[in-house]
């Protein structure tokens, strides 16, 4: 049986170059980076070299790069820390209704602390309106958080326009760029963001390592205490092998982006066109243009999502129905629901995210195999039967 990995938005395999760099560190550089002796100094040097690679990838100053344990931690450090540090200036916050739960749940926690949060709606393609954002601003708004690109439907947000407004009004701006880095250009100076989060395992690096970019002069608070590492914002002995691995991964991802992203976009478009043209009652979720090059999110209507995923897996196609962080939930995607989709359509969504290993032959196989899967599942679906009879669908 074929084995095709189509869940690169959830995580990516670690590149050989990254593994080699990490193994070398594990074998040779065990010294504590905070130690000033001959064993500690090389570890510190490796960290600073990785910091420079990350900074270069997003056009930042190395002193603005903070290593953390994940993209989720980076989001939480930025959102919780900055809101609490600046609460004397105001208590109003703005985000979108389609953020990753790392962001949404952080804002929900702040609501329990007395902050007011505005959740911006999105249109049918998952994009916020700049006009809606302007209308949501208040005199006491202190923080805005908008993702660079959506993790489920791949929609790219107007972060540069939002960032310019925030900078003009001196409002802190946080961007979750976990899905964007390495896929599309990410430049913190063009975005005008004060915080930006990224993660190693989305760009063929190791799990358990993330980055928070924090613009110099911005105030935030640490989430926990116990050491002076990472500008006293992320205490604890640094994970040197993972930091080195992230540095190698992001350097390679940015270097290859100019050729890899167009390759993936071509395969993505072939996949979308093939599925929509061969299977009736399907729809693309998210825009045709202005989406991540590796993301295809398609609803096969009147098919139950979990059965669809399991049947695809039995045919060697490993994909998802949305964020891996909520894959255990039976509820429809909050992103698709925010876009105005019905439960019926949202439940039949399939996220196919491509990567380095994806070939044109893989795309041909997926298009060929998905139709009989959909036909078989629909044959067992009372909802599909009602649709064919012209009966009302809930």
Asked whether residue 326 carries a pLDDT value surpassing 90, the answer given is: no
CB of 352 within 8 A of CB of 298? yes
Q: How confident is the model at residue 304 (pLDDT cuts 50, 70, 90)?
A: confident
Binding residues: 71-72, 151, 179, 199-201, 237, 325
Examine the pLDDT at 390 and tell me if it is beyond 80. Answer: no
Confidence of residue 317 (pLDDT cuts 50, 70, 90): very high
**Token digits of residue 325:** 């962080």
- List b or e across 88-102, with b for residues whose CB sees 16 or more CB atoms inside 10 angstroms: eebbbbbbbbbbbeb
Q: What percent of the chain has pLDDT over 70?
A: 97
pLDDT given at position 389: 72
- Please list, in sequence order, all residues whose beta carbon lies within 8 angstroms of the beta carbon of residue 233, skipping any fewer than 6 positions away: 66, 77, 81, 212, 214, 220, 222
Task: Give mean pLDDT, residues 20-44.
Answer: 96
Q: pLDDT tens digit string along 126-148?
A: 999 999 999 999 999 999 999 99
| Domain architecture of the chain: domains with CATH | 4-10+257-389 (3.90.1150.10), 16-253 (3.40.640.10)
Active centre residues (catalytic): 325
264 pLDDT above the threshold of 70: yes
Q: Are 154 and 337 in contact (CB under 8 A)?
A: no
- Is residue 329 over pLDDT 60? no
Question: Does the reported pTM lie above 0.85?
Answer: yes
pLDDT digits (tens, 9 = 90+) for 156-175: 999 999 999 999 999 999 99
DSSP of 144-203: EE--SB-TTT-BBP-HHHHHHHHHHTT-EEEEE-TTTTTTS---HHHHT-SEEEEEGGGT
Write down the pLDDT at residue 394. 57
pLDDT at 330: 61
CA 198, CA 211: separation in Å to the nearest integer?
A: 5
Q: What is the pLDDT of residue 65?
A: 98
pLDDT interval class at 295 (50, 70, 90) = very high
- Residues annotated in a binding site for pyridoxal 5'-phosphate: 71-72, 151, 179, 199-201, 237
Instruction: Give me the mean pLDDT over the 253-266 stretch.
Output: 98
CB distance 65 to 259 below 8 Å? no
pLDDT at position 1, please?
A: 74
> Is-contact 203 250, C-beta < 8 A?
yes
């Amino acid at each position: 049986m074929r084995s095709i990995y189509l869940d690169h938005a959830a995580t990516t395999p670690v590149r050989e170059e990254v593994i080699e760099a990490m193994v070398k560190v594990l074998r040779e550089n065990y010294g504590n980076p905070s130690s000033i002796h001959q064993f500690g100094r090389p570890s510190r040097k490796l960290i600073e070299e990785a910091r420079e690679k990350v900074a270069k990838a997003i056009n930042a100053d190395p002193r603005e790069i903070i290593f953390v344990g994940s993209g989720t931690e980076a989001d939480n450090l930025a959102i919780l820390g900055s809101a609490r540090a600046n609460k004397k200036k105001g208590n109003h916050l703005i985000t979108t209704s389609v953020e990753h739960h790392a962001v949404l749940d952080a804002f929900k926690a702040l609501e329990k602390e007395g902050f007011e949060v505005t959740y911006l709606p999105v249109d049918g393609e998952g994009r916020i309106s700049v006009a809606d954002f302007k209308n949501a601003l208040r005199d006491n708004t202190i923080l805005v958080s908008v993702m660079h690109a959506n993790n489920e439907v791949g929609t790219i947000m107007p972060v540069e326009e939002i960032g310019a407004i925030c900078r003009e009004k001196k409002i802190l701006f946080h961007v979750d760029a976990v899905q964007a880095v390495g896929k599309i250009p990410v430049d913190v100076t063009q975005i005008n963001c004060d915080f930006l989060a990224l993660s190693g395992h989305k760009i063929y690096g190791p799990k358990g390592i993330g980055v928070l970019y924090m613009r110099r002069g911005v105030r935030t608070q640490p989430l926990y205490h116990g050491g002076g590492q990472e500008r006293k914002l992320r205490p604890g002995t640094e994970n040197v092998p993972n930091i080195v691995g992230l540095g190698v991964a992001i350097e390679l991802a940015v270097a290859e982006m100019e050729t890899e992203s167009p390759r993936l976009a071509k395969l993505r478009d072939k996949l979308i066109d093939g599925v929509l043209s061969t299977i009736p009652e399907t729809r693309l979720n998210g825009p045709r243009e202005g989406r991540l090059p590796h993301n295809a999110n398609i609803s096969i209507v009147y098919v139950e999502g979990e059965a669809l995923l399991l049947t695809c897996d039995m045919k060697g196609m490993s994909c998802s129905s949305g964020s891996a962080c909520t894959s255990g939930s039976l509820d429809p995607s909050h992103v698709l629901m925010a876009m105005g989709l019905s439960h019926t359509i949202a439940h039949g969504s399939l996220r196919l995210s491509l990567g380095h290993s994806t070939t044109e032959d893989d795309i041909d196989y997926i298009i060929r195999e998905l139709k009989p899967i959909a036909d078989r599942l629909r044959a067992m679906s009372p909802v599909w039967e009602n649709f064919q009879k012209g009966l009302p669908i809930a």
